[in-house]
Amino acid sequence: MLHKQALAWPLLFLSLGLTCNLFAFTKTGKAYKTDGSQSDVNAAIEDASAGDSINIPAGSFTWGTGGTAVYVKQAVTLQGAGCGLTTIHVSGTASCWGSGVIRISAAATVRDFSTTQPNVGATTVFSTGTANGWRISRIHHASAAHCGYFVYAASYGLIDRCTLLGGGGSDELIFTRGPLDSWQTANSCGGANAVYLEDCTFNGDGYVCDFNSNARGVVRFCTINGRMKVDAHGLASNTPRRGVRQTEVYGNHWTSSLPYYTAIEIRGGTGYLFDNMQEKQDCRTAWFKLNEYGCESPWPNFGKAYQTPHDYPIADQIGVGMDPKAAASEPMYLWHNLAAGADWLLSAYYSAPSGAIARYRAQTGNPTATFGWEDIRKANRDYFRASMGTTFDGSQGVGRGTKARMLAIRPTKVGVGFWVTDEGNWNAELPRNTSGRLYTWNGSAWVAKYTPYTYPHPLRAGDDDKGL
């Protein structure tokens, strides 16, 4: 039988405002020190307030066993002792797809440790909820998975200065989806509402990213050493049944000289792709594609019917904008993309399948009708592209030079673009008025169309180093 004196001790602690910590973490000021276990980290986050830091010590820890997770549900900083010092191993029994081992549902920052991923299922290291403004920074990730995810994002934030090793196959390191109303709202190109991949390094095989249904994504100033592609999915292969909304890809460098891989493939939406480069100019390496899968196969998302020029504009294809669809209402712009110092050419496509040709002939009533890929996503209609070695006169494509040079040209084609090189201050690493800005011709005047978002990303404010 308990004595009344024994019962009084807990009451005494409560009266003094003290609590008995059943976990290992300690707190000093706004900083929590944990033992690195999943349970202790979760307990510290639960106890923390916005602005606090949760520290994981040096060591090796396994998280995610049995589908469990660390829940980062407050705007805290979760940080390790450094890449190579703190390592989080994803369990072989961890959750898959959109349920990560580290689940971020607030404008939190997670940084400064290493992660490993086994080759089992489609496990996920990080997943995000609906809250925007999260940041994943300075993580070294090594994947053995042929089908897995480093980040599975359902909201907007920043992934910066990470070094990622793909495991090959369908290892989609960054997978993103956007909000369900993405196609009913204006594009946000040049704004904060996107998933940003910035100053990251990609090694191995797999995908840099899969910008999927309704997604808005940016890949900028990254180095891709492996055979990896930036991939923006169209409607044909997506769930839910919508295509990528917008894609911005600029300042990236592909270094691999290995043959037969796709470096960039855009299958829908609008966007801006510029100042990318690859080391080798060879038809066998580093393909650059603008595509529409609806013309290649009878996908269920198109009612198992091949798409043809008669269906133009194909839902969510390259160059179309908000619902309801208006043909070529949001063209894509491409300029100064280089392969070994020359134009990085768009890859040629094989002939349209016989099934697509047969449907096109039935649609048109012409038994000899045929079509090619350029009849689906047409230059100077659905996309505008610069060509090196030609003088820009405003009849097609995209020009590049000073504003004075642009103003001296009166185009004959509505929609042509011009990248002005003596304006723009979005890139803090360049001298003033040299970052650049894109103008387009509206039929009577040049109008400012697109300025990239602030670089470095504002979520990096306060960091004093650009490298890893």
Which residue among 357, 382, 407 closes a domain? 382
Domain match, 397 and 374 both = no
User: Looking at residues 175-196, what average pLDDT do you find?
Assistant: 98
CA dihedral 208, 101, 37, 31 (to 10 degrees): 70
Q: Identify the DSSP state of 90.
A: E
What does the pLDDT read at residue 376? 92
- Mean of the pLDDT values across residues 452-462? 96
Rounded to two decimals, the pTM is: 0.94
356 lies in the same domain as 403: no
In this prediction, residue 366 carries a pLDDT of: 98
Percent of the chain with pLDDT over 70: 94
**Same domain flag for 400 and 282:** no
Quick one: how many helices (H) and strands (E) in the chain? 4, 33
- pLDDT interval class at 1 (50, 70, 90): very low
Looking at the domain assignment, is residue 29 inside a domain? Answer: yes
| Among 242, 202, 243, CA closest to 219 | 202
Out of 360, 382, 404, a domain closes at: 382
Number of structural domains found in the chain:
2
Q: Is residue 2 one of the residues assigned to a domain?
A: no
pLDDT confidence of 281, banded at 50, 70, 90?
Answer: low
Longest Cα–Cα distance in the chain: 99
Query: Looking at the structure, do residues 140 and 216 belong to the same domain, yes or no?
Result: yes
Indicate the helix (H) or strand (E) that contains 188.
none
Percent of the residues in the chain that have a pLDDT greater than 90, as a whole number? 86
SS3 266: strand
C-alpha of 301 from chain center: 23
Q: Note the pLDDT of residue 349.
A: 73
Average pLDDT over residues 134-154: 96
pLDDT at site 76: 98
- Assigned domain for 157 exists: yes
> Which domain CATH number covers 48?
2.160.20
165 with 220, same domain: the answer is yes
Task: Write out the residue range of the structural domain in which residue 341 sits.
Answer: 21-382
